[in-house]
Amino acid sequence: MIRNMNLANRITLVRVVLIPVFLVVLLGEMPDALIEPGPWAVYRPWVAAFIFTALAASDAVDGYVARSRNQITTFGKFIDPLADKLLVTAALVALVELDKLPAWIALVIISREFIVSGLRLVAIAEGRVIAAANSGKLKTVLQIIAIVAFLIKDSETVRTIGGAVSTAAQTVAWVIMAAAVLMTMISMVQYFYHARDILTGPWESVDTKST
């Protein structure tokens, strides 16, 4: 199956497969025989941030490959946004697990994705396509930057530097996360506005009577 896939879809699948690797690095405990606990505690958030950034950046790569090689497929249209949502959801849940992020922020962002995905399914069922707005793209960029900032703001390196640098890291991370949450809500409202005719009907009736 994978052999028959085009390059763009392979890149997307690799992104999905590597999400558990990101979670293991961020949350898992490494055996002492492989790496010393002390140095690993220092490197862990930076390694996790690097992996997350690389996976997030691969979204632009597979999109470029698909367009430049005319490899846009139905499977790619489905799996690409799903991979992005899985990556962001995994990172947010991990930050909550590490007690670095309030659960309500993760719930707001994740709930938006479920709601918009549900609305998109309704649109598809009605034979409609709702174009992605620029606010949605900005929302995604802000979420990625915010997550990276939260991954490293409490790292041993930042704490060791201390002083103004540590305070600035905390402030910047929270400001970007607040902007990400705000843009998440704005993009959802805009998405519903563009889909208002789908929400209000007329709905296609389905005859459930047996013949």
Q: Note whether residue 125 is domain-resident.
A: yes
Q: Note whether residue 180 is domain-resident.
A: yes
| DSSP code for 203 | P
pLDDT greater than 50 at residue 209: no
What domain range is 172 assigned to? 2-199
Q: Which of 1-5, 151-155, 201-205 has the lowest mean pLDDT?
A: 201-205
Q: Looking at residues 19-34, what average pLDDT do you find?
A: 79
Number of domains the chain is built from = 1
Q: Which pair of structure tokens corresponds to residue 188?
A: 């959802």
CATH number of the domain that 151 lies in?
1.20.120.1760
pLDDT band (50, 70, 90) for residue 150: very high
Q: Which of 21-25, 27-31, 185-189 has the lowest mean pLDDT?
A: 27-31
End-to-end, the C-alpha distance of the chain in Å comes to 41
Q: Note whether residue 115 is domain-resident.
A: yes
pLDDT band (50, 70, 90) for residue 182: very high
Q: Note whether residue 206 is domain-resident.
A: no
Question: What's the pLDDT at 211?
Answer: 41
Q: Note whether residue 89 is domain-resident.
A: yes
Q: Looking at residues 63-74, what average pLDDT do you find?
A: 75
Q: Note whether residue 211 is domain-resident.
A: no
Which of 153, 157, 181, 155 is CA-nearest to residue 168?
A: 153
Q: Note whether residue 209 is domain-resident.
A: no
